[in-house]
Amino acid sequence: MTYPRSLILNSPAVGLDGPWLVDKACWLRADWRLFVAALVCLPGCSTKDVRLPSLREQFVLRAEPEQPTSIADAKAKIAENPRVEFVGRIGANEYFSPDKATFLVTEILPDEHGHSGNQHADNCPFCKRKAAEAPRAVVQFVDAAGEILAVDACKLFGIEPADTVVIRGTGELIASLNLLVVTADGIYLKQSRGGL
């Protein structure tokens, strides 16, 4: 196909060096090829985990459990009943396992001396000591084979450090560490700083 000389563009008009022939059919073929390449590459380049919606459906509780206990109460009753349902506060960032659906939850301590807020606990020596001695539980979400899910808990549940959650599952007390380990089958985000 030939085009008249009038379709030859000057470089200042298009920002290119030298004259360029605008071949509409060529551009359409190139655009079509780029479009197909984009469609083929984009799904493979996506970082979104397609399992997240079904895992959320499986583990996120729609309603808050009616009478969750404290972590201390759950630990005390674990010998008579391994089923637990407790409320706790998610620990700091270092208590999340990257790319795993597991994290640490600490007891929510009562405010005994008139201070409040998450920032206060970081600055008050009395609150720091109480928080260090507070009961804790490791929460893990597992697949059908019993392996910890290979997905970041923050992304899966939209949780952050200092969020308040209710955890439901089967607990085991590791006596040597005085630590409750819970294989969870449900989580309810009670109070969030960010969330889903």
Residue pair 189/61 in contact (Cβ under 8 Å)? The answer is no
**Amino acid sitting at position 31:** D
Residue-wise pLDDT tens digits, 14-34: 444 444 444 444 444 555 455
Beta bridge partners of 87: 166
Which of 157, 169, 170, 165 minimizes the C-alpha distance to 57?
Answer: 157
Judging by DSSP bridges, how do beta strands 136-140 and 179-191 pair with one another? parallel
Percent helix, percent strand, percent coil in the chain, to nearest 5: 35, 25, 40
Give the CA distances from residue 74 to residues 106, 176, 181, in Å, rounded to whole numbers and listed in that order: 12, 17, 11
Give the three-state DSSP class for 89. strand
The predicted model scores a pTM of 0.69
Question: Could you confirm whether domain 52-191 is CATH 2.40.50.140?
Answer: yes
User: Phi/psi at 99 (nearest 5 deg)?
Assistant: 60, 25
User: Which carries the bigger pLDDT value, residue 126 or residue 36?
Assistant: 126
Residue pair 109/87 in contact (Cβ under 8 Å)? The answer is no
Give the number of other Cβ atoms within 10 Å of residue 65's Cβ.
16
Average pLDDT over residues 144-168: 93
pLDDT of residue 128: 73
Considering all CA atoms of the chain, what is the largest pairwise distance in Å, rounded to the nearest integer?
A: 91
- Distance from C-alpha of 87 to C-alpha of 151, rounded to nearest angstrom: 23
Residue-wise pLDDT tens digits, 38-94: 444 444 444 577 889 999 999 999 999 999 999 999 999 999 999 999 999 998 777
Measured in Å, how far apart are the chain's first and last C-alpha atoms?
56
Domain ranges of the chain: 5-45, 52-191
pLDDT of residue 134: 87
Give the number of other Cβ atoms within 10 Å of residue 111's Cβ.
12
pLDDT of residue 49: 77
Tell me what the pLDDT averaged over the chain comes to.
77
pLDDT of residue 102: 95
- Residues whose CB falls within 8 Å of the CB of residue 78, separated by 6 or more in sequence, listed in order: 84, 171, 172, 173, 180
Which of 152, 174, 49, 160 minimizes the C-alpha distance to 102?
Answer: 152
